[in-house]
Amino acid sequence: MSTRHILLGLLASGPSHGYDLKRRHDERFPQARPLAYGQVYTTLQRLVRDGLAEVGGTDADGGPERTVYRSTPDGDRELARWAAEIAPPAPFVTNEIFTKVVVAILGGGDPAAYLRAQRTAHLARMRELTAVKTASGADLATVLSADYALNHLDADLRWMNTTAARLSTLTAEVDAA
């Protein structure tokens, strides 16, 4: 995910300071990793350096003085370009679970036990996400974000079931190589 483009998107609704941008990011993308303040301010400095944002003044608003940033016309164009860009499917599939299954086979471990334990962890996370999305007052962004994660976890579970069913063949292939 592109932090610079997310911040440009948040600035598209009007000037803001870093603290508000971080807060709005965490509210708009509730299931995403929260942004660190340092990441926000470093990214804002780079946006200014690259001419995509500019300092619009300072705002004290009864508290400490804060620098207000706003998008530039170049920033608006960059955001529109990025938002219209099709996200290509990943050219390489990196799957930590598959890697651990193969390593368990290579190391004489128990790949079936690993898959069962991983399945248990996935199911627990799915229950957490289901609770989040069905909670009273859950907004649509939260529901959609949880649905996205749930669909990925479901795909992982289906893959784990398929792999568990083919584990003896996989073990034979790994041992033969």
* 119-165 pLDDT tens trace: 999 999 999 999 999 999 998 988 998 999 999 999 999 999 999 99
**Within the chain, what is the greatest distance between any pair of CA atoms?**
71
Q: Would you state the pLDDT for residue 51?
A: 97
Is residue 109 within 8 A of residue 117, CB to CB? The reply is: no
88-108, pLDDT tens digit by residue?
776 666 688 988 998 888 888
Q: Would you state the pLDDT for residue 18?
A: 92
**How many angstroms from the chain centroid is the CA of residue 171?**
33
Work out the burial of residue 157: count CB atoms within 10 Å of its CB; fewer than 13 is exposed, 13-18 middle, 19 or more buried: middle
pTM tops 0.85, yes or no = no
Q: Would you state the pLDDT for residue 92?
A: 65
Q: Would you state the pLDDT for residue 71?
A: 95
Lay out the sheet containing 66-71: strands in order across.
Answer: 16-17, 66-71, 53-59
35-59, pLDDT tens digit by residue?
899 999 999 999 999 999 999 888 7
Average pLDDT along the chain: 89
**How many angstroms from the chain centroid is the CA of residue 103?**
27
